[in-house]
Structure 1
Amino acid sequence: MVYTANLGFPRIGSGRELKKATESFWKGDLTEEQLRAEARRLRAANWQLQRQNGVDFIPSNDFSLYDQVLDTSVMVGAIPEIYGWNGGPVSLETYFAMARGTRGRAEGDLPALEMTKWFDTNYHYLVPEFTQEQSFTLASTKPVDEFLEAQALGLQTRPVLLGPVSYLLLGKCVGEDFDPLTLLPRLLPVYGEVLRRLAEAGADWVQLDEPCLALDLTETTQAALKQAYSYLAEASGSLKVMLTSYFGGLGDNLETTLQLPVSGVHLDLVRAPDQLDRVLSSAPGHLTLSLGVVDGRNVWRSDLESILERIAPVVEARGADRLVIAPSCSLLHVPIDLELETELDPDLKSWLAFAVQKVEEVSVLGRALNEGRAAVTAPLESSERAVEARRTSPKIHDAAVETRLQCITRDMARRTSDHAERRVVQQQNLKLPDFPTTTIGSFPQTEEIRKARAAFTKGRMSSADYQSFLKRETEAAVRRQEEIGLDVLVHGEFERNDMVQYFGEQLSGFAFTRHGWVQSFGTRYVRPPILYGDVSRPAPMTVEMTAYAQSLTERPVKGMLTGPVTLLQWSFVRDDQPRERTCRQIALALRDEVADLEQAGIRVIQIDEPAFREGLPLRRAHWRRYLDWAVECFRLAASVVSDETQIHTHMCYSEFNDIMDAIAAMDADVISIETARSKMELLEAFTTFRYPNEIGPGVYDIHAPRCPEAREMTELLREASKRLDARQIWVNPDCGLKTRSWEEVSPALANMVAAARDLRAQAA
């Protein structure tokens, strides 16, 4: 028979139970045992759901209280010295200190680990830290514990581990610069011990994820893979290893992969469908192939008939017992259950599949291959109707948008003058001091704000009353900023639910869910919009509130927009046309908004692109094409303004070294970036490149619940001044302040302003 598998299931709970329990634990309203009990309940529900849907290989250890990479660091004892761990079991206090940092400790506050994007997704992981003297030890038996937990419920699961080579490559070296792969011989015994314990517990398969296989790998890394899996083959005994790749094809890593002593290999046939023929012609007959044919990254319903047409010949040629049907990757990246969405347009809903439905699709494919199509006639026919209805729906296409795309010219993506000339004009216009201070855009979304929005959404507050409330909050924020002494203000974004959702709700071609939550990091969940059709802007989106804020003060107020690439990347994007075509549609819609903001008297406009680096293809050969259209789309949105208007952008939690030419080509007058957690390390890319425009290196980590002192920020600015011309430097937090409280924000910003003034005094 053909087997079915799942690679990972969302851990957050259909009602965001994990978020609520974890945050209650942080507040002291829930005990550790209560938190762990809720985690056990969620795991059990996920396992039972997958068993009921006929999944043969159900994953365990795909659950995490915060992040699976952090879990791996804890498992192998890679805990930086500052967290005070002295061996033995790692407490939740230490675990969450690594994740979030701490404040109010007698010994001093602790920073969180650095955070960055998980490959080309919007999921953020905690970056492991390694020293040259790094030692590893088994500090957590979580993979074994959760396997036994499932076993006690009558379930035989396939434990999931992040592979040792990918784990090392995802980390950073502290102290001296060295190749983290040199630590592999010290790390492998810990992995070997985990596999030995899993085998003793009764596991027959283990899933080892090596997403690095989708990257351009050096000969050194390929050798490390051979070293690792030769060792683990000896250590695992009878335990069979499913080596899992995803987010792309194996490419030139295929030969190395097929030589590894593993029992199975998983292939992403959604991102890289063309690799199947090469694998089939090269794979040894004994190797089990896991075919990732259901999209684990997007929400569109599968064309089941088309998939069966591709797979049926493979079953006939290779035999059923060496094939597994699965999603392309973990379902962590999609919402949980489409059936919770009772307010979606019925046509659109019929085109979609969330995690539960994708598990069902895998099961249908397995049954069709094992029992014949007649056994699953109804779901196959339903799939075929949905695919055809979507293809021909008039809801997808807009002739006016098509006409406008055809009228784009090269000059539309160019500013009138270069930055050096613009800078002179802008300084005359804005009259800002050296080291100007600002924020990234959002201010605390208090309980009162959330209640007012909910009341308005549910019809319990009139539009007039809601607008009056928003204006009061905006005015209060302006006055706070003036009192603190910020130079460039923001209106606070109190009317906005989310930086993507707010704009998507006002653009055509986007739809929104009520329960489609996806984990971004920790307890930060987002509801990505579903970008199903052609995009246009029916009416201004931000002008009224921004202009109102500007009317309250003599200081410049920034217009705040989410950029075209980020709106694309942080949505579930239609897959029936090239992504760059959709991005150009978004860029044209934003171009209209930028023009209207300038017309309303706004002289500083920020177009955030935190997902710009995230969208970079994993293979270098595909970079140039992406960067060309991504830069073009940003410039298309921004270049409608005059020289006097200053364009800002913001990027966070990214590595910039390899794309500095593209960042410079975006030609934003000011870019703000996250640098507090890395202690200005990320500025090295801008320094080496000799970035010509202005930069706001973040001096305040907004994701940690601590208030940095002015001297800390002054030291960070001094570090920045060693790398940049003082006239280039802006002073700002790492990111928006929406998730923090005013009690945290006000003193931190006051300290930030004090640090900027200190630098000005030193430069005078």
Structure 2
Amino acid sequence: MHKLLPTSTVGSLPKPSWLAKPETLWSPWKLQGEQLAEAKQDALRITLQEQIHAGIDIVSDGEQTRQHFVTTFIEHLDGVDFAKRKTVKIRNRYEASVPSVVGDVSRQKSVFVEDAKFLRQQTKQPIKWCLPGPMTMIDTLYDAHYKSREKLAWEFAGILNQEAKELEASGVDIIQFDEPAFNVFFDQVNDWGIAALERAVEGLKCETAVHICYGYGIKANTDWKKTLGSEWRQYEETFPTLQKSNIDIISLEYQNSKVPMELMELIRGKKVMVGAIDVATHAIETPEEVANTLRKALQFVDADKLYPCTNCGMAPLPRHIARGKLNALSDGTAILRNEISN
């Protein structure tokens, strides 16, 4: 990753309509069996081509092979019963019917490694792979077994570490852990959440990232954001601890949010994926808007540590909007790259 200001997306990109229902989270697959397996690979190829075509530097699978960024990983583990569902409040915002932890959790085989190997075969560019973070995993479950968020998080951290090591071995350059829960449960984040995340990255030699955002552009999240006041200072609670952690890259939301830019000063020294694309609107940013956001970020992040990115995943967006936003990210970054190198 020698390129200055390497661009990437947070992770998810819209799925083709022949694979799953568009603009929907937890969208059911339209195919099954071997047809579904082949269709997922086709969708992965297409989403990779779209990223490359738009000039994105660090590419991903667009999460084409998973229904949801958390539950798809959990589905492959033992100790979780998807038939025994309970309604819980996710991230203190919206109610969802979630599976129950009924016994010791464990992983019999890798979850995403075959998909990651397939992506690796398709491109020479750096690739990033996303996994759910331990705290966000426990926030998306009903725990009837451990009866302790912390204990369950540590169990998941060990499982994530096994998966991450296999992903690294299959050629993944950056492994990113998605932790939107870090913006909600501050005391737990500082007490054990970041420590659990460090357990998940133990022994990895590839780069590691943590993504902390204010959620997809779904109504429950946009309604919550309206209650956060004129300044969103949630990052202030966790950044000092993250700055001392051994996670390499911090991915954060900025575009059209009320996050004060100077909070990035708290993670000075880390690489920062700066969200310069708003995923909660269908309006496509202009390259100049993207360049302007990144320009401001340079006050707090050294140019060699600035990774232009999206605020969050784009799965719920129409495909043409997501494509437009990818182009804007790339073109806006190019403007700034030229300014810096001239």
Q: Work out whether the TM-score is over 0.5.
A: yes
**Which residue number in structure 2 is paired with residue 648 of structure 1?**
209
Q: CA deviation at 1:593?
A: 0.2
- Give deviations 1:153-197, integer Å, cap 9, x for gaps: xxxxxxxxxxxxxxxxxxxxxxxxxxxxxxxxxxxxxxxxxxxxx
Q: CA deviation at 1:541?
A: 0.4
* Unpaired stretches in structure 2, ≥5 consecutive residues: 22-26, 215-232
Q: CA deviation at 1:519?
A: 7.7
Which structure has the highest helix share of the two? 1
Q: Which amino acid aligns with 1:712?
A: E
- Contact kept, 8 Å, 1:440 with 1:735, in 2: the verdict is yes
- Contact kept, 8 Å, 1:510 with 1:531, in 2: the verdict is yes
Between the aligned partners of 1:546 and 1:554, the Cα distance in structure 2 is: 13
Instruction: Classify the secondary structure of the residue corresponding to 1:465.
Output: helix
The equivalent position to 1:684 in structure 2, one of 255, 262, 268, is 262
C-alpha spacing 1:735/1:526, structure 2 compared with 1 (3 Å): farther
Between the aligned partners of 1:728 and 1:555, the Cα distance in structure 2 is: 19
Q: CA deviation at 1:691?
A: 2.3
Instruction: Classify the secondary structure of the residue corresponding to 2:120.
Output: helix
* Unpaired stretches in structure 1, ≥5 consecutive residues: 1-429, 618-622
**Which residue number in structure 2 is paired with residue 559 of structure 1?**
129
Between the aligned partners of 2:94 and 2:319, the Cα distance in structure 1 is: 19
Match runs of 1:426-575 below 5 Å: 430-431=1-2, 433-450=3-20, 453-456=28-31, 461=32, 463-512=33-82, 526-574=96-144
Match runs of 1:34-49 below 5 Å: none
Structure 2 residue 292 is matched with structure 1 residue 715:
yes
Which structure has the highest strand share of the two? 2
**Which residue number in structure 2 is paired with residue 747 of structure 1?**
324
Between the aligned partners of 1:572 and 1:450, the Cα distance in structure 2 is: 27
**Which residue number in structure 1 is paired with residue 305 of structure 2?**
728
- Contact kept, 8 Å, 1:700 with 1:713, in 2: the verdict is yes
- Give deviations 1:680-730, integer Å, cap 9, x for gaps: x3432221x252111112111101121111111111111111222222211
Q: Which amino acid aligns with 1:471?
A: Q
Instruction: Classify the secondary structure of the residue corresponding to 1:510.
Output: strand
- Contact kept, 8 Å, 1:443 with 1:492, in 2: the verdict is yes
Match runs of 1:156-175 below 5 Å: none
Aligned residues: 317
Q: CA deviation at 1:511?
A: 2.3
Q: Which amino acid aligns with 2:168?
A: E
Instruction: Classify the secondary structure of the residue corresponding to 1:529.
Output: strand
Match runs of 1:632-711 below 5 Å: 632-642=195-205, 645-653=206-214, 655-678=234-257, 681-687=259-265, 689=266, 691-711=268-288
Q: Which amino acid aligns with 2:208?
A: I
- Please provide the CA RMSD for this pair: 2.4
C-alpha spacing 1:757/1:541, structure 2 compared with 1 (3 Å): same
Between the aligned partners of 2:293 and 2:108, the Cα distance in structure 1 is: 44
Between the aligned partners of 1:525 and 1:580, the Cα distance in structure 2 is: 22
Instruction: Classify the secondary structure of the residue corresponding to 1:667.
Output: coil
Q: CA deviation at 1:518?
A: 6.8
- Give deviations 1:107-154, integer Å, cap 9, x for gaps: xxxxxxxxxxxxxxxxxxxxxxxxxxxxxxxxxxxxxxxxxxxxxxxx
Between the aligned partners of 1:498 and 1:585, the Cα distance in structure 2 is: 21
573-582 or 471-480, which deviates more: 573-582
Q: Which amino acid aligns with 1:759?
A: L
Instruction: Classify the secondary structure of the residue corresponding to 1:561.
Output: strand
- Give deviations 1:79-125, integer Å, cap 9, x for gaps: xxxxxxxxxxxxxxxxxxxxxxxxxxxxxxxxxxxxxxxxxxxxxxx
Q: CA deviation at 1:524?
A: 8.4
Between the aligned partners of 1:576 and 1:634, the Cα distance in structure 2 is: 19
Between the aligned partners of 2:149 and 2:177, the Cα distance in structure 1 is: 20
- Contact kept, 8 Å, 1:504 with 1:511, in 2: the verdict is no
- Contact kept, 8 Å, 1:570 with 1:611, in 2: the verdict is no
Between the aligned partners of 1:468 and 1:573, the Cα distance in structure 2 is: 35
Instruction: Classify the secondary structure of the residue corresponding to 2:197.
Output: helix
Match runs of 1:209-228 below 5 Å: none
Q: Which has the higher contact order (CA 8 A, sep 6+)?
A: 2
Between the aligned partners of 2:159 and 2:11, the Cα distance in structure 1 is: 21
Instruction: Classify the secondary structure of the residue corresponding to 1:754.
Output: helix
Q: CA deviation at 1:445?
A: 2.9
Q: CA deviation at 1:531?
A: 2.5
- Give deviations 1:298-348, integer Å, cap 9, x for gaps: xxxxxxxxxxxxxxxxxxxxxxxxxxxxxxxxxxxxxxxxxxxxxxxxxxx
Q: Which amino acid aligns with 1:637?
A: A
**Which residue number in structure 1 is paired with residue 218 of structure 2?**
none
- Give deviations 1:539-592, integer Å, cap 9, x for gaps: 100111111011101101112111111101222233753321111110111110
Q: CA deviation at 1:496?
A: 1.0
- Contact kept, 8 Å, 2:18 with 2:30, in 1: the verdict is no
- Give deviations 1:212-258, integer Å, cap 9, x for gaps: xxxxxxxxxxxxxxxxxxxxxxxxxxxxxxxxxxxxxxxxxxxxxxx
Q: Which amino acid aligns with 1:684?
A: E
**Which residue number in structure 1 is paired with residue 224 of structure 2?**
none
- Give deviations 1:479-536, integer Å, cap 9, x for gaps: 1111110000001112211111101111122222598677869x98754332332211
